[in-house]
Amino acid sequence: MPRQTLAMAAAYTFLVLLAVTGAHGFHIEEATVESIQQGFRNDSLTSVQLVRFYLDRIRGLNPLLRAVIEVNPDALRQAARADAERHRFSSVRFLAAGAGGLLHGVPVLLKDNIATRDALNTTAGSYALLGSVPPRDAGVVSRLRRAGAVVLGKANMDEWANFRSLPGTEGWSARGGQARNPYVLTASPCGSSTGSAIAAATSMAAVTLGTETDGSILCPASLNSVVGIKPTVGLTSRAGVVPVTPRQDTVGPICRTVTDAVHVLDAIVGYDALDAAATGAASKYIPHGGYVQFLKKHGLNGKRIGVPNGFFTYPNGTVQQMVYQQHLNTIREQGAIVIENLDIENLSVILDTLNNGEQFALAAEFKLSLNTSLSDLSYYPVRSLADVIAFNIAHPVEEKLEEIGQLIFLVAENTTGIGATEKAAIDRLNKLSADGLEKLMKEHELDAVMAPNNALSPVLAIGGMPGITVPAGYGALGVPFGLSFGGLRGYEPRLIEMAYAFEQATKVRKPPTFLP
Ligand SMILES: *[C@@H]1O[C@H](CO)[C@@H](O)[C@H](O)[C@H]1NC(C)=O
Ligand SMILES: *[C@@H]1O[C@H](CO)[C@@H](O)[C@H](O)[C@H]1NC(C)=O
Ligand SMILES: *[C@@H]1O[C@H](CO)[C@@H](O)[C@H](O)[C@H]1NC(C)=O
Ligand SMILES: *[C@@H]1O[C@H](CO)[C@@H](O)[C@H](O)[C@H]1NC(C)=O
Ligand SMILES: *[C@@H]1O[C@H](CO)[C@@H](O)[C@H](O)[C@H]1NC(C)=O
Ligand SMILES: CC(=O)N[C@H]1CO[C@H](CO)[C@@H](O)[C@@H]1O
């Protein structure tokens, strides 16, 4: 049997066994954060049982799907502590103490570029960073720990967030191997937050975190039929995250439902002194009382939603064309005002990220940011981009140097900081954003624009703007696709309203099919 078939057979056997022997009163597969908390409260579930379930599931599915790079040897102990805390306090005092939030005792899987100061490594998928020691948890991880979440492990990703080479490494990293789409195993799982999306889709974790510079949450979430929130840049801290650029990087949840994603978002947003400028500037967007209040069943009612030209380009008769058309009708029936035939100025320039200055600016910014982030480590096997390049040359087999190369690294290494040319490129990107989506949304008083999957990502990326993708359907071969809502900086409340109402009106998502 070929290796893939063998692994598939093993995974199927495992799933069947799990279904038969699943001994918990509580059905953990596909469980939501709120049902998990209810299970905790009515004593049908413990955090330890949850962690055991997810660890078993990772053991069974990961040989096939390669969604996880490392599991946390401390996860069961953290879960036991969460269970003990819950039992020690009466619920009122527990809540008053600031603990007992919705993520208390809930296992979270982190993309491998998000630092944890524990037994787990943080490597962006690369052997070059193996053994590095971060001085502290990433800002978002500190917040998760304070909320009582259990750090379950690190998720596979496109190595270096797909910023090593062209054409790239969708779902591949040297340390994690090639991740697979759990719906159609031969289809792209997209990236770079690949493992986070797959793990959420297959219940290898309750909830997960990904990161996005340009498409890395919205794309894998869409293609693995889960919900991804790409927050406004600065809403969530990037401190302790292996960077591409502070101008575009953002950390956000990837989960099975909008509600789960919103609970995670609530836990991770906020000011961080170690990412002071961006989190300081974005903190004005965080609503008093958090984001849960925007989970409104009628959240589409009265919303003005633009449909920019150039995105819904599926030929008549294809599944995508028909399903998206149906969704537009549903969105109208839900009371939204859908405005079609809008043009984002210079859209073709914005989408041409190789030539419009985006990649050019990113290259210079990456070299600087990586250097800063490496020099912040308590122990670092590599100190600079030059060291990482040399590492890949010295480890060509593990790092698949011949096959994948490191062209972006080489281009980035040739840069010498943000000079006049780089500054001009960044100004031009800002202008493209201001004259593009920002102007369009203001002129038409839009609450959001809609597009398939991650099609909006470059438009949102250059403006630091937020987006949410929600499962929208399955193509002729069973490959998932999503519908994304994007908006201006700080538009999370209304994007959440629309995404939630759309999700509740359509309920498209179904668990993975593991088709060959
Ligand atoms: C406890 O809550 C869970 C989650 O809602 C539910 O599935 C389960 O049936 C409940 N069990 C009991 C004993 O009430
Ligand atoms: C982290 O990497 C080291 C190798 O440097 C390995 O021994 C260790 O098991 C890894 N940690 C985890 C949690 O897998
Ligand atoms: C697709 O169908 C629409 C509506 O029926 C029609 O207006 C349009 O011309 C068709 N497009 C193509 C490419 O056939
Ligand atoms: C990298 O950072 C170190 C320490 O902050 C600094 O001394 C060095 O000049 C930087 N190198 C580059 C290439 O920016
Ligand atoms: C880097 O710069 C050197 C010297 O100018 C040049 O020969 C080389 O082609 C450049 N590499 C890349 C990838 O641009
Ligand atoms: C940056 C850029 O390419 N801007 C162009 C946007 O489109 C207008 C015309 O619609 C051009 O004049 C700009 O040069």
CA Rg, the chain, in Å?
Answer: 22
For ligand 4, atom 9, the nearest C-alpha belongs to 371
Question: Averaged over 380-384, what is the pLDDT?
Answer: 94
Q: Which atom number of ligand 6 is nearest to the Cα of residue 431?
A: 1
Pairing of strands 150-155, 107-111: parallel
Determine whether the shortest distance from the Cβ of 432 to ligand 6 is under 6 A.
yes
For ligand 4, atom 14, the nearest C-alpha belongs to 368
pTM: 0.95
Q: Which amino acid is at 59?
A: R
Q: How far is CA 148 from the centre of its chain?
A: 21
pLDDT in tens, 92-149: 555 544 455 899 999 999 999 999 999 999 999 999 999 999 999 999 999 999 999 9
Is 235's pLDDT higher than 50? Answer: yes
- Distance set, CA 354 to CA 236, 349, 359, 361 (Å): 27, 10, 5, 10
Could you give the CA distance from residue 516 to residue 496 in angstroms, rounded to a whole number? 34
Mutate to test the pocket of ligand 4, among 383, 384, 415, 418 (most ligand atoms within 8 A of CB): 384
Is 228's pLDDT higher than 70? Answer: yes
* Mean pLDDT over each residue of the chain, to the nearest integer: 94
pLDDT in tens, 163-206: 999 877 899 999 999 999 999 999 999 999 999 999 999 999 99
pLDDT at 76: 98
For ligand 6, atom 7, the nearest C-alpha belongs to 346
Q: How far is CA 27 from the centre of its chain?
A: 25
Query: In this prediction, what percent of the chain has a pLDDT beyond 90?
Result: 91
* Cβ contacts of 385 within 8 Å, gap of 6 or more: 366, 367, 370, 371, 409, 412, 413
Mutate to test the pocket of ligand 1, among 26, 35, 46 (most ligand atoms within 8 A of CB): 26
Could you give the CA distance from residue 218 to residue 228 in angstroms, rounded to a whole number? 6
For ligand 1, atom 7, the nearest C-alpha belongs to 26
Determine whether the shortest distance from the Cβ of 133 to ligand 2 is under 6 A.
no
At 184, is the secondary structure helix, strand, or coil? strand
Helices within 304-357 (DSSP H only): 319-333, 347-351
pLDDT at 15: 60
For ligand 1, residues with CB inside 6 Å are 26, 35, 38-39, 42, 44
Q: Which atom number of ligand 2 is nearest to the Cα of residue 72?
A: 13
Mutate to test the pocket of ligand 2, among 58, 68, 70, 77 (most ligand atoms within 8 A of CB): 70
pLDDT at 94: 53
pLDDT at 18: 55
**Locus of tokens 């949850």:** 50
CB 150 within 8 A of CB 206: no
pLDDT at 169: 84
Question: Averaged over 21-25, what is the pLDDT?
Answer: 51
Positions marked catalytic: 111, 192, 216
DSSP string, 466-499: -EEEEEEEE-TTS-EEEEEEE-STT-HHHHHHHH
For ligand 6, atom 14, the nearest C-alpha belongs to 346
Pick the CATH number of 101-516 from 1.20.120.420, 3.65.10.10, 3.90.1300.10, 3.20.20.150: 3.90.1300.10
CB 191 within 8 A of CB 220: yes
Question: Angle at CA 41, nearest 5°, toward 39 and 43?
Answer: 65
Tally the residues of the chain. 516
At 514, is the secondary structure helix, strand, or coil? coil
pLDDT in tens, 308-367: 999 999 999 999 999 999 999 999 999 999 999 999 999 999 999 999 999 999 999 999
pLDDT at 21: 39
Question: Angle at CA 73, nearest 5°, toward 67 and 75?
Answer: 85
